Amino acid sequence: MTRFFTLWKREVASYFVSPVAYILATMFLVVMGVGFWFLANVRLMAGATFYDLLRALYGGVAWFAVLMVIPVLSMRSFAEEKRSGTLEMLLTAPVRDGEVVFSKFLGIFTVYVVMWLPTLAYYPLLANAANQEMVFDYGALASAYVGVFLIGGFFLSIGLFCSSLTQNLISASISSFAVISLIFLGGFLPAVSPIPGIRTFTEPLSPILHMLEYSRGVIDTRSVVLYLSSTLLMLLITTRVLESRRWRA
C-alpha cells in the first residue's frame, strides 16, 4: 500500500510540475465557465429552471470539455515513461505491473477531479444572483458529478490504455481521442438510427443518455456497473499490455 501511495503521489506531482495540467485546466475552465455564463445569463433569464441548467451544463457543455481534456491528460502516463526509458527503472523496482497501472490511473483521475473542483463555485454565485423563487436541488447536482466522474474515469482508462501502446505522445492522444469520440458519437445512435433494433440495443449503452439522466438526479445502477466494470476491464487490459514487454521486447 505504501508503494501504491508512492506511485500515486509521483503521478499526481508529475502533472503539477509540468505546464500541461495548468494549460489543460485553464482551457477546461474557460469552456465550462463560458458555458455556465451563457446558460446562467441567457437561459435563466428566459425562465429556465435549475434542472434545465444542470442538463445543459453537464449533459451538453461538459462533453466538449471532457473530450478535449481527457486525451491530453492521459497521453503522457505510459508513452512518456517509455520514451524517456524511465519505465525500465519503474518496472525493475519491486512493484507489480498492476500496481503501476492502477496507481497511474488513480493519479490522472485525481488530477481530473481537481480540475472539476472549481466548477463547484458556480452554485454559490448562482444562489447569490438568482431570484428567490429558484429551487436548488443539490442532490441532482451531486448526481451530475457522479456521472462526470464515472464516465470521465472510463474515458481516462481508455486514454491510459492507448498511452501504453506507444511511446509517442501525439499518437497516444490522437488514438484515445478517436476511441473516445467514437463512443461519444455512438451515444447518438438511439436518437438517430433509422433501424429500431439498433435503437433499442444502443439505448442502455449511450453515454449521452446516461449523462442526461445523471444530471437530472437519476443514478441508474446499471450504468454505474457498466462504467465501473468497463474501467476495470480497460485497466486489466493495460496491465496485460505492460506485461507483454517481457516477451515482446
Which of 26, 41, 64, 84 forms a contact with another protein (CB under 8 A)?
84
User: What's the CA gap between 199 and 129, in Å, rounded?
Assistant: 41
Of 16 and 188, the one with the shorter C-beta distance to another protein is: 16
Residue 131 contacts another protein per CB under 8 A: no
Q: Is residue 1 within the footprint of another protein (CB under 8 A)?
A: no
Residue 19 in contact with another protein, rule: CB under 8 A: no
Non-local (6+) Cβ contacts of 140 within 8 A are 50, 51, 54, 215, 216, 217
3-class secondary structure, 49: coil
Q: Does 86 bind another protein (CB under 8 A)?
A: yes
Closer residue to another protein (CB): 93 or 170: 93
Nearer to another protein, 209 or 242 (CB): 242
216 binds another protein (CB under 8 A): no
Report the alpha-carbon distance of residue 129 to residue 213 in Å, rounded. Answer: 27
Please tell me whether residue 85 binds another protein under the rule CB under 8 A.
Answer: yes
Q: Which listed range, 11-19, 26-34, 122-130, 158-166, lies at the site for another protein (CB under 8 A)?
A: 11-19
The least CB distance from residue 244 to another protein, in Å, is: 10
Residue whose C-alpha is closest to residue 74's, from 194, 151, 177, 150: 177
Which CB sits closer to another protein, 44 or 108? 108
- Alpha-carbon distance of 249 to 87, in angstroms, equals 13
Decide: is 91 part of the binding site for another protein (CB under 8 A). Answer: yes
Interface segment toward another protein; rule CB under 8 A; list 92-100, 129-137, 167-175, 194-202 = 92-100
From the centroid of its chain, how far is CA 15? Answer: 16
Nearest distance from residue 171's CB to another protein, in Å? Answer: 21
Question: Rule CB under 8 A: which of 93-112 touch another protein?
Answer: 93-96
Q: Is 212 helix (H, G, I), strand (E, B) or coil?
A: helix
Closest CA to 76 of 18, 129, 153, 154: 18
If one asks whether residue 17 binds another protein (CB under 8 A), the answer comes out as yes
Considering the complex, state which of residue 82 and residue 210 has its C-beta at the smaller distance from another protein.
82
Nearest to 55 by CA among 209, 247, 241: 209
Residue type, 46: A
Helices (H), 18-96: 19-38, 44-45, 50-56, 62-84, 86-91
Size of the site for another protein (CB under 8 A): 25
Under rule CB under 8 A, residue 6 binds another protein: yes
